[in-house]
A and B are shown apart, each in its own frame.
Chain A
Amino acid sequence: MVKKFISVFLAGMLFAGAFPSVAFSATGPTNYTFTYNEWNVPIPSPDAYRVSAYILGQHLYFNGESIGPWRSPQDLHVWQGYLGGEWRNLLYVVDSGNNRIVILEFYGENNAEYRVFDIIDHVIMPDGEPSGFNNPHGIYISDWAFNRGQIWITDTNNQRVLHVNENWEVLTEIRHPGNYRRCADSEGVVFIFDPGEGPSLLEADSDFLPSKVAVDFSGRIFVQTRHINRGLMEFDRYGVFAGYMGAPPVDVNIIDRFWRFIATQEQRERMLLNVPVEYNNVTIDHEGFLFVTTASYGVEPVARLNAMGDDVMIRNGFEYPIGDLWWGTGADRSGPSEFIDVTALPNGTFITFDRNRGRLFAYDTQGQLLYVWGGPGNREGFFTFPTALDSMGHTLFALDGGIGGNFAALTRFDLTEYGALINYALDMYHRGLYAESYDVWNEVLRINGNFGLANTGIARALLRQGDYRRAMRYFRLQNDARNYGRAFGFYRRIWMEQHFWMFALGLGVIMIVPPVVKKVIKVRKEIMES
């Protein structure tokens, strides 16, 4: 008995040693990670990300003194590259309430150490005069080859977008585009100011409140502007307004149209205009596609736009990436998720940040939900008023704007081994190494038996190996009818080939026996009669 116990124990040890083991602690911190299963029911999951640093402004020191608490910080941007002759991992925090940009540097093993690298509260205008910020809301630092290190800042209340170089000297100042119209001639681009003529692109007396900014690989500047619902404002690399792009399509339903039809002119004027909704953030991923988010109901809350402004996001999950599927009221929050920011990781996974419930939703390149974590609250890993999210490799930085100058915090999340294992499996899976990903998916499933994507991964590996029967079983677990049908088609063909003799025999019996019996009866009858 004892021997048997020891052998079982040893076998268990061997099995456990076959894979990198993941340590679980019952008392450790948790972010209440969950996923939705194949019936869209939320199921608890191990943490894929855990808080590794909770950075408050008053705990940061620069030149020997505290930099003071954050005041409603609005944007984050990660930039890694050579600055001052050294490779640096920098995180730019737009501390809007304090009208400054705080640059944190991460260094050491796994970039675990951090310090304040610089604090910027003004830029140098071309005439040499310093010019301060007034409630800046966004920042972008180029990582494209031709303008690496240049910086764009949306200085919201000064109504301008600043394009500055590494030394914070202004190259271009983009102001209210007014009634500029674009006229191209052979020399290049010439602009004519004609307030009286032509369709107005932005009313000359309206405010220009740029909020978020992104620059693509060809130098086009995309500015998300408040109170603009025609999409993103696009400026060319010289800062000249080029038009709007990527407006979400307006959907007019027949009932609205009917009411509009029967309404009088006065009523019609008082009705809500049927206009596209406003984006609230813009990011560029590693392939140069724009990620935009919106908190409005009725359009896709997160979209991936190509250079033409068309939505090219792949949505192959059970549900579209819309965040929470259960909208019940809880902790004073109700309704759908309101995405405020999105970040794309190097492997194509993107993570959205929900302002409503303070949750982070991770989706893979196919738009399938991986895991959800976070929540409302003012402790580590929870958020009172989410504002921004960015990633350094697979490390995440989430910014909490706080309420009325309190609770503003920068939270750093690092992958757990479970999250890393999922990423490893996804990488193999997306590279088409289905057979090789089999063991990894099994290990994921060992840690979290409710992780549905692992079933799909295993099923695909089995399908590739020709084990159709088991592939069918795993696809069945994920309610994946289409792929189940593929596996079943192969299985059915093999079954038919193996059991063909049965059909042949059956057919033969049907074709031969009745005539023979008939003949026998006939012959017997003739014999009897004769």
Chain B
Amino acid sequence: MTAIKKRAGRAPNSTALWFKNYLASLRYSLYTMRRPLDGFWDLIHEKRGSMAAAHTIVVLFVLVQIVYLTQTNFTFININMETFSSVFVVMNIVGPLLLFSLANWCLTTLFDGKGRISDIYMGYAYAMVPQLIIRAILTPLSHVVTYDEMMILVLMWYIGEYWFYLLILCAMKQIHDYSFGKAVITTILSLAAMGIMVFIFLMFFAVVSDGIAYFYSLGQEALFRMRRG
């Protein structure tokens, strides 16, 4: 009882503190974007980042991606709205994120990686920030640019893409305390591991559904024969 009271009494102060830390860690993503090597080291080892901020970035990215895909001028992105589904957008972003975190963690624990699975998740999420910002800029910009000036947007899009790849590599290097070459190799291997995981998932579901179908038809057959007597 006293413990609860104590915590309740301290709550406003603690919430405010938490929120302050949260905002600081969110703002820190702008630093990791510009100074990736230094930034990703401190992100984990100096506890400058937070999982809450990482989740926030992922949610923001999903929202920005949906707006980007639907609201960009049709000259540049033209999707038939009859077939568009936000669920697929969420899966396209969250799926690779979770898969990569898992695959990379599985791999790096075998190769002296220092990072935990949450660290990898955080690093990946923080690395998405420049892409998020560029897509947020591209969406309104597409409405003042004509077809002939498409190169500007394409260039910006590519900058966002390669910036992301670079940040992922830096994050892997610093989180696991690797040399750069080792970071590159483990990242490529974890991509392969992602592929294997997807393959195994699909095979597993195929086998299970086949198994269920087998026993179901077996039961049907048995029932049919029993009924015939």
Chain A residues engaging chain B, CB cutoff 8 angstroms: 39, 476, 479, 481-482, 484-486, 488-489, 492
Task: Enumerate chain A residues within 8 angstroms of B71, measured Cβ to Cβ.
Answer: none
Indicate if the CB atoms of A489 and B146 lie closer than 8 Å: yes
Q: Which residues of chain B are near A484, meaning CB under 8 Å?
A: 74-75, 147
* Per-residue interface assignment for chain B, residues 137 to 161, with 1 indicating a CB less than 8 Å from any chain A CB and 0 otherwise: 0000000101110000000000000
Most chain A beta-carbon contacts within 10 A, residue among B74, B82, B147: B147
Enumerate the 8 nearest inter-chain pairs by beta-carbon distance, A residue then B residue, closest first.
Answer: A485-B147, A485-B146, A481-B75, A489-B146, A39-B80, A481-B147, A482-B147, A488-B146
Is B146 within 8 A of A492, CB to CB?
A: yes
Pair B148/A481 contact, Cβ less than 8 Å? no
Tell me if B78 counts as interface (CB < 8 A to partner A): yes
Cα A482 to Cα B147 with chains together (Å): 6
> In the complex, which residues of chain B have a beta carbon less than 8 angstroms from the beta carbon of A488?
146
Q: Are A481 and B74 in contact (CB under 8 A)?
A: yes
Per the bound structure, the CA–CA distance linking A476 and B146 in Å amounts to: 13
Q: B148 contacts which chain A residues (CB < 8 A)?
A: 485, 489
Chain B residues, CB < 8 A from A481: 74-76, 78, 147
Return B30 CB to nearest CB of chain A, in Å. Answer: 25
> CB-CB < 8 A to B146: which residues of A?
485-486, 488-489, 492
Q: Decide if B75 touches A485 in the complex (CB within 8 Å).
A: yes
User: From residue B146, how far is it (CB to closest CB) to chain A in Å?
Assistant: 4
Interface of A is mostly: helix
20 more CB-based (< 8 A) A-B contacts, given A481-B76, A481-B78, A485-B75 = A39-B80, A39-B82, A476-B74, A479-B74, A479-B78, A481-B74, A481-B75, A482-B147, A484-B74, A484-B75, A484-B147, A485-B147, A485-B148, A486-B146, A486-B147, A488-B146, A489-B146, A489-B148, A492-B144, A492-B146
| Chain A residues, CB < 8 A from B74 | 476, 479, 481, 484
Alpha-carbon distance between A382 and B106 when the two chains are bound, in angstroms: 63
Of all chain A residues, which has the CB nearest B75?
A: A481
When C-beta atoms are compared, the residue in chain B nearest to A479 turns out to be: B78
23 A–B contacts, CB within 8 A, in A order: A39-B80, A39-B82, A476-B74, A479-B74, A479-B78, A481-B74, A481-B75, A481-B76, A481-B78, A481-B147, A482-B147, A484-B74, A484-B75, A484-B147, A485-B75, A485-B146, A485-B148, A486-B146, A488-B146, A489-B146, A489-B148, A492-B144, A492-B146
**Bound CA–CA A513/B82 (angstroms):** 50
Expressed in whole angstroms, the Cα–Cα distance for A481 and B78 within the complex equals 9
Q: Interface residue count for B (Cβ, 8 Å)?
A: 10
Residues of B within 8 A of A (CB): 74-76, 78, 80, 82, 144, 146-148
Task: Write the chain A residue with the least CB distance to B149.
Answer: A485
A481's nearest neighbour on chain B, judged by CB, is: B75
Contacts of A492 in B (CB 8 A): 144, 146
Residues in B neighbouring A482, C-beta threshold 8 A: 147
In the complex, A482→B74 CA distance in Å?
11
Q: What separation, in Å, do the CA atoms of A488 and B80 have in the docked complex?
A: 22
Task: List, in ascending order, chain B residues with CB within 8 A of A485's CB.
Answer: 75, 146-148
Which single residue of chain B is at the shortest CB-CB distance from A485?
B147
Closest to B144 in A: A492
Least CB distance, A479 to chain B, in whole angstroms? 6
Complex Cα–Cα for A485 and B73 (A): 11
Find the B residue at minimum CB distance from A490.
B146
With A and B bound together, what is the CA distance between A253 and B78 in angstroms?
Answer: 31
B78 proximity list for chain A (CB < 8 A): 479, 481
- Which among A476, A479, A486, A488 has the highest number of chain B CB atoms within 10 Å? A488
Query: CA–CA, A485 to B144, complex, Å?
Result: 10
A489 to B144, CA, bound (A): 9
Q: Please give the distance in Å from B140's CB to the nearest CB on chain A.
A: 14
In the bound complex, residues from chain B placing their C-beta under 8 Å from that of A479 are: 74, 78
In the bound complex, CA of A492 to CA of B149 (Å): 13
Q: How far is the CA of A476 from the CA of B74 in the complex (A)?
A: 8
- In the complex the two chains form, what is the Cα distance from A481 to B75 in whole Å? 5
Which residues of the other chain, B, contact A489 by a CB distance below 8 angstroms? 146, 148
Closest to A487 in B: B146
Determine how close the nearest CB of chain A comes to the CB of B71; give it in whole angstroms.
14
Q: A481–B82 Cα gap in the complex (Å)?
A: 19
Cα A484 to Cα B150 with chains together (Å): 13
For A39, list chain B residues within 8 Å (CB).
80, 82
Closest to B82 in A: A39
Question: In the complex, A355 Cα to B120 Cα: how many Å?
Answer: 59
- Nearest residue (CB) in A for B80 is A39
B190 to chain A, nearest CB (A): 30
State the Cβ distance, A290 to closest chain B Cβ, in Å. Answer: 35
Cα distance A39–B75 in the bound complex, in angstroms? 15
Separation in Å of the B121 CB from the closest CB of chain A? Answer: 38
CA gap between A467 and B75 in the complex, in Å: 20
Query: B72 CB to closest chain A CB, in angstroms?
Result: 12
A223 CA / B221 CA spacing, docked (Å) = 64
Chain A: minimal CB distance from B97 (Å): 31
* A residues in contact with B82, CB < 8 Å: 39
For B144, the chain A residues whose CB sits under 8 A away are: 492
Give the distance in Å from the alpha carbon of A423 to the alpha carbon of B64 in the complex.
46
By beta carbon, the residue of chain B nearest A482 is B147
Chain B, residue nearest A40 (CB): B80
Give A476 Cβ to nearest chain B Cβ, in Å: 6
Shortest beta-carbon distance from B151 to chain A in Å: 13
* Chain B CB within 10 A, most for which of A39, A479, A481, A482: A481
Nearest CB in chain A: distance from B142 CB, A? 11
Min CB distance, A80 to chain B, in Å?
A: 46
Inter-chain CA distance A476–B73, complex, in Å, is 10
Most chain A beta-carbon contacts within 10 A, residue among B75, B76, B144, B148: B75
